[in-house]
Structure 1
């Protein structure tokens, strides 16, 4: 699979990478063996950058992933995990908790170092906690060789605009902002380029918005967004295609987006996703789908503290994290 450089890091990442949230039974219940087979299929297909978090499935995702990779050479995959978020409303970005969390994660993942450690969904805490305590802790871990690179992740784009000038971050994870229904992530690219920050794009299906199954009940998007995304998905189906295929191809085609995370605990789904990247994009179908979604105009939803959602007039609520 084609690779791209991740910012100023020494990492070359595949254009399509494996988001391991699904291993935590986030979308549906999965068994350990099914999860292990899926991870192996992803790596075999060239999706050898894997992202996980102790939050996904309350450590189940890390545990299953650890079982999957423990027999593989550590040099055969790039691994990122997170610290700071441990439950739906459980956040702890203190130095002690981060240090403990990294050791716990490495134990579950059967590794003695993490390629990238991200602070998870930082929009839910005051900025001074991140700037004065949490991120300096990551820099200490980096200096010690426990982690190779340090980053942050979250939903609102204003979050990165506010925080990146104050942090020496190597990478970020942004989700639901570079997909068929929302390309507002493009507005952040000049800042990322200026600072040499690596970009990991996640949720090309907008956490299930772009699906003929209909959006999950917990999804925070508004009704109009859900209706138009479902309309677009059904249109693709009527044309004999799959909106998931179009979404993955669209997200990975942009040379300015180093990598996109997809998450599935289905071995066949992962193999399909990897194969789609190699196939030509149906430009006519893309134009028709973008036309259907055009009225949304990058409409999103708030997450976390109000100061990180300056462009939103809706009351903030909790987000499910960067799921597909």
Structure 2
């Protein structure tokens, strides 16, 4: 049974290991309905209670699959998180035989950014329909910020600041959702939106990991002051902390082939892993939970086998001496809190 941690100042409590459902939107490759069902059943049977999805994941496919798996369960058994910021519209000319937005999905829709009050309200209602659920627990603003929007960042940020945040606050105040936050790959935008009002959590992918801890200098302290929890996505930094760098495959970091300095750093971390007989992926999965602001870690899990292996890695015994050795070698931020072993 996974321990649970609180989301911000809400009453929501989530398992320390959560389920990232991008893979079930057929990210890069198709996953059959049968395999998707088996994957979700394995996560439920492992007592994972947080399921994170989004309209973008397979243009609605992931939400449909997650909703189908959760619908028969008591709502108290799970926490469902989805996202706003994109509206899906029918596209009769969609080529469902090729990748669209990175997904091999049969869903004949297109996606359009919209962070306005009306856009967020419509996205919320559409997600309820696709999920087939009466409630959504956590609503996250998806992919706001410079990394996604470049020179249109100010345009979309203005939508969120002038009316979009009002929609989120209204939904929360009326009890239609329990928590609001962002789902992004950059910490800067999370700090920026704190000026708009009270956020409960930030789903941040890859920016606090075994490989990088710059968030300790600014972002994580601000989250503590703000009262916002972190849902930590991308604990493997796009795969390099799962595969390592000593095999024959090309290691990936930040969705691209890893640069040499990153490869060198991971190689040194792997050396310490070998010294303590700790799988690199186990260390990557467990490290972020050493920080009190991190409520849960949600790696992508696209198969039943992957779920079972991830649970095994999560529970792998990692001695305190391992973390201390990484610090001594200069491979962890000196102020990085390390996971504490719980006898229970």
Which TM-score band (shorter chain)? 0.7 to 0.9
Alpha carbons of structure 1 residues 102 and 242: separation in structure 2 relative to 1, 3 Å = same
Could you tell me which of 294, 304, 308 is aligned with 1:271?
308
Alpha carbons of structure 1 residues 76 and 38: separation in structure 2 relative to 1, 3 Å = same
Alignment of 1:78-97 (within 5 A): 78-85=79-86, 88=101, 90-97=112-119
Q: Does 1:182 align with 2:212?
A: yes
Counterpart CA distance in 1 for 2:56 and 2:309 is 27
Could you tell me which of 248, 258, 266 is aligned with 2:295?
258
Counterpart CA distance in 2 for 1:31 and 1:219 is 24
Match of 2:141 in 1: 119
Match of 2:222 in 1: 191
Q: Which one has the largest radius of gyration?
A: 2
Q: 1:251 Cα deviation (Å)?
A: 2.2
Match of 2:199 in 1: 169
Alignment of 1:47-196 (within 5 A): 47-85=48-86, 88=101, 90-123=112-145, 124=149, 125-126=153-154, 127-186=157-216, 187-196=218-227
Q: 1:232 Cα deviation (Å)?
A: 5.2
Counterpart CA distance in 2 for 1:229 and 1:287 is 17
Q: 1:42 Cα deviation (Å)?
A: 1.3
Counterpart CA distance in 2 for 1:179 and 1:149 is 24
Deviations 1:6-39 (A, max 9, x none): 1111111111111111111215321112112111
Match of 1:302 in 2: none
Counterpart CA distance in 2 for 1:237 and 1:189 is 26
Aligned-residue CA RMSD (Å): 2.8
Match of 2:250 in 1: 214
Match of 1:247 in 2: 284
Counterpart CA distance in 2 for 1:12 and 1:206 is 25
Alpha carbons of structure 1 residues 290 and 36: separation in structure 2 relative to 1, 3 Å = farther
Higher relative contact order (CA 8 A, sep 6+): 1
- Asked if the contact 2:17–2:297 (Cα under 8 Å) also holds between the matched residues in 1, the reply is yes
Counterpart CA distance in 1 for 2:25 and 2:320 is 35
Which stretches in structure 2 are left out of the alignment for 5+ residues?
88-99, 102-110, 335-344
Deviations 1:28-83 (A, max 9, x none): 32111211211121122121011110111221111111221122222210011001
TM-score normalized with structure 1 length: 0.81
Q: 1:176 Cα deviation (Å)?
A: 0.6
Q: Does 1:44 align with 2:54?
A: no
TM-score normalized with structure 2 length: 0.76
- Asked if the contact 2:40–2:69 (Cα under 8 Å) also holds between the matched residues in 1, the reply is yes
- Asked if the contact 1:229–1:293 (Cα under 8 Å) also holds between the matched residues in 2, the reply is no
Counterpart CA distance in 2 for 1:73 and 1:255 is 29
- Asked if the contact 1:214–1:230 (Cα under 8 Å) also holds between the matched residues in 2, the reply is no
Could you tell me which of 224, 228, 244 is aligned with 2:260?
224
